[in-house]
Amino acid sequence: MALEERGNVNLWRCPPHFWENPKRMAMLPPELSRERRTVYNMLAATADFLGSAAALHQPQGDGVYKSWTWIEYREAVEEIAAGLHSLSIGLGDICGIASETRAEFYLADIGIMTNGSIAAAVYTSLPAADQVKTLKAAEPKAIFVEDPKMLKTLESAGMSEIAAKRILFTGEAENAITLGELRQLGAAALIDDPRLLDRIRESVTPESPAILYLTSGATGEPKMGLVSHNAILANCDMGAKVLPLSPSDSTLVFLPSAHITQRLALELFLVRLGLPVWFSESLSRMPAELRSIRPTLFIAPPRVWERMYASITTEIRKKPAAVRKLFYMGLGVGNSVSQARQQGRTPAPWQLASLKFFDKLVFSKIRERLGGRLRIPCSGSAPLGKSLAEFYACIGLPLIEAYGLTEGGVLSVNPVDQPRYGSIGKALPGAELRLAEDGELLARGETIFMGYYKDPGATAAVLRDGWLHTGDVAEIDAEGYIWITGRKKELIVSSNGKKIYPARIEALFKMHPLVNQILLIGDRLPYMTALVSINEQAAASVKGVSASARNLEELSQDKAVYTEVKKIVQKVNAQLPPFEQVRRFKIISRDFSLEHGELTPTMKLRRTKAIESFRQEIGELYVGREEF
């Protein structure tokens, strides 16, 4: 890892040879030259390389899947592109997509980009009116919609005012064509004009815009960011050098495709690798799907890993004392081995032998819940707590955390063979990262976005002197590992001037299964307080809880639950300096929610909105004496 001094800042750049494994790279579809970097050319190269190998698997119900080979994937994309062209939708035109993540989304998404148009997906978890607001701002010439039911909902919410072609992934509706009909239109056009695809391809350059992302809006109003074909392919090539994946691997996907984690890492990057994708039918079906599909790669946000941890530890607490003792002894051994590996040391023979014993008896059974073949479990889309990552490392599931953002793509990742838990890893080859004088992480490289859609002022605010200002405050250690300490906009400054980044402290609370969500408060106030929402299942199992407490609202008022949360606060406080310690807390009767505007579509907390929703409860925390 190369460190250069530039004035008062450190510039971190990864040497090109740092990550590369020539033998593994030979197993992947070929890397394209700079002048050929378009999303279609990447898919075409993979289809040429893998041919009739399976690429996409869409559930049809009852365990049945519809599959597409790489050749069929490419053919569908070509027909969709030609179909859009036949509808007079062309270079630079925006096409909206309102759909859950599914195979047809992938086909349409790359079909749009192949045509030289710009794909703009909305978060379907948002209220219909908000989805329509986004679509209106994007000014699309066509809108792809998942099914007639969603189309009707969006039309009723105001989409009827948008003059755009409607295209349905499934089902039929008046004033809309189906994806199949669009493909038929395109197939006919390609037969009538054999040079049509070539002309469309030639019109698209690496610098052409490909995707219009909606940012999550965790620290303000959502914006729309434009990303070029070259930025996407540059990022995919970086990732191919870093992660030991190949066409022999597989994954299960469920995240919203409007988000960069799903769109870039689990759609476009997997085209670069030639890695087959299985789509989840629903969250309720996902546990069974993991066991049957047995993926080797699985990416989920911290919330999923937190809930899985809470489920595991809650179950363990119900086991006999001997089983609990065995589990925690195994965690101790696993932690010793994990620490040794992180430090570059070979664990002692007795440690490895002990771990093998505990793994066979306990940990392998936990991993079987995820299919038993998982090699690269990843956490993305939000910060992961260090303690949570260490837990998974102990049980043989070392979570790999990466760092990226809509405006910059994926910029860093933890080395699979030597992760540093709590860090976001090292800069990807080709990405340049440095710290500003105030500690803000800045980025430069080919993956940086083109700017915000029709918002030059907002673009100028984050792109200054060739560097992207990420808004994240970080530290970089001597080995090049990057550690995020907080968001600049989330900084709490207490009334005595102490600066506190809440995310790190909140992560400590989330290690306790009883704590579902937490919001720290204290900006311009005399001391830190917290709003806590509880896990209903864990709360119901608390010793001494009232038998009459049958739902979340009643459990939140139970004295035994309050006492247990108080113990958790005391344990976390013991790890913090006095000015960061929580002095009072309140258990709230519901979770922060998307419906109330307190969470983004990617489940990040909108602090300002959450504080506004619970202003009365927060006020009560600053009346009377401190509790701790």
Report pLDDT digits (tens) over 160-211: 999 999 999 999 999 999 999 999 999 999 999 999 999 999 999 999 999 9
Look at residue 260 and give its three-state secondary structure.
Answer: helix
Q: What is the pLDDT of residue 85?
A: 98
Q: What is the pLDDT of residue 110?
A: 98
CA 371/CA 404 separation, integer angstroms: 27
CA 434/CA 475 separation, integer angstroms: 9
CA 360/CA 475 separation, integer angstroms: 39
Per the model's pLDDT, the better-predicted residue between 340 and 164 turns out to be: 164
Q: Which CATH superfamily is domain 491-621 in?
A: ANL, C-terminal domain (3.30.300.30)
**Span 570-585, mean pLDDT?**
94
- For residue 624, give the amino acid letter: G
Question: 428-465 burial string, b = 16+ CB within 10 Å, else e?
Answer: bbbbbbbbbeeebbbbbbbbbbbbbbeeeebbeebbee
Tokens of 181: 């009909």
In Å, how far are 269, 393, 408, 550 from 204, measured between CA atoms?
Answer: 20, 44, 22, 59
Q: Which DSSP category does 423 fall into?
A: S
* Beta-carbon count within 10 A of 468 CB: 22
CA 149/CA 268 separation, integer angstroms: 28
The answer to whether residue 104 scores a pLDDT higher than 70 is yes
**Banded model confidence at residue 1, pLDDT cuts 50, 70, 90:** very low
The answer to whether residue 3 scores a pLDDT higher than 50 is no
Q: Which DSSP category does 92 fall into?
A: T
Q: Tell me the CA end-to-end span of the chain in Å, nearest whole number.
A: 45
* Beta-carbon count within 10 A of 176 CB: 18
**Span 555-573, mean pLDDT?**
94
Alpha helix ranges (H) inside 38-178: 39-50, 70-86, 103-114, 128-138, 148-156
**Banded model confidence at residue 460, pLDDT cuts 50, 70, 90:** very high
The answer to whether residue 497 scores a pLDDT higher than 60 is yes
User: 4-34 pLDDT, tens per residue?
Assistant: 333 333 445 554 444 566 777 788 999 999 9
Cα four-point dihedral sign 258, 264, 269, 271: positive
Question: 94-131 burial string, b = 16+ CB within 10 Å, else e?
Answer: bbbbbbbbbbbbbbbbbbbbbbbbbbbbbbbbbebebb
CA 249/CA 28 separation, integer angstroms: 12
The answer to whether residue 133 scores a pLDDT higher than 70 is yes
User: 294-318 pLDDT, tens per residue?
Assistant: 999 999 988 889 889 988 988 888 8
**Span 414-422, mean pLDDT?**
88
* Beta-carbon count within 10 A of 386 CB: 18
Strands 409-413 and 400-405: antiparallel
| Average pLDDT across the chain, whole number | 91
Per the model's pLDDT, the better-predicted residue between 386 and 407 turns out to be: 407
CA 483/CA 470 separation, integer angstroms: 14
pTM of the model: 0.87
